[in-house]
């Protein structure tokens, strides 16, 4: 049975660069990158890679902002929910962290969710960023 897509590609228009970290660290102690989707610049490696995908991904973005008052200053905190059609990182079973570059601003991934169909396939991916 074919399940309907809940996040349509035609509504995913916001370009975003995504880097997702896996569980664990590399030999150098850096986070283990399991998925990377970013624009390739001439200084970047042009070798084929299992984790690097050229170009930006397209998503449906819903953002919100709130004002946080501290004793010293007033801070505006912006957070967003990014929705992707299908599984953005099929080789990674979990989305444990990373960052996105959205409108030229680097934001941290707080939570990632793979929303599944009853048969176990991924219908859409959700990234919460702050």
The pLDDT of residue 34 is 85
Sign of CA dihedral 103, 33, 40, 38: negative
pLDDT reported for residue 40: 58
Is the pLDDT at 115 greater than 90? The verdict is yes
pLDDT-above-70 percentage for the chain: 86
In tens, the pLDDT along 33-81 reads 888 887 655 555 555 555 555 566 889 999 999 999 988 889 888 899 9
Q: How many CB atoms lie within 10 A of CB 117?
A: 15
Rounded average pLDDT over 108-129:
93
**Percent of residues, the chain, with pLDDT higher than 90:** 42
Span 18-35, average pLDDT: 86
Q: Which secondary structure element, helix H or strand E, spans residue 102, and what is its range?
A: strand 97-102
* Better pLDDT: 1 or 123: 123
Strands 97-102 and 14-25: antiparallel
Indicate the pTM of the whole model. Answer: 0.82
> Residue 106 contacts by C-beta under 8 Å, 6 or more apart in sequence?
99, 100
Q: What three-state secondary structure class fits 50?
A: coil
Nearest by Cα to 18 from 93, 116, 113, 84: 84
């Amino acid at each position: 049975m074919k399940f309907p897509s809940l996040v349509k590609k035609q509504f995913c228009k916001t370009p975003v660069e995504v880097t997702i970290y896996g569980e664990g660290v590399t030999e150098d102690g850096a986070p283990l990158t399991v998925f990377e989707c970013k624009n390739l610049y001439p200084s970047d490696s042009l070798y084929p890679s299992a984790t690097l995908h050229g170009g930006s991904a397209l998503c449906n973005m819903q953002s919100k902002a709130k004002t946080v008052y501290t004793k010293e200053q007033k801070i505006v905190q912006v957070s967003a929910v990014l929705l992707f059609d299908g599984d953005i990182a099929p080789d990674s079973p979990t989305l444990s962290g990373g960052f996105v570059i959205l409108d030229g601003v680097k934001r941290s991934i707080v939570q990632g969710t793979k929303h599944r169909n009853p048969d176990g396939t991924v219908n859409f991916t959700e990234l919460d960023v702050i």
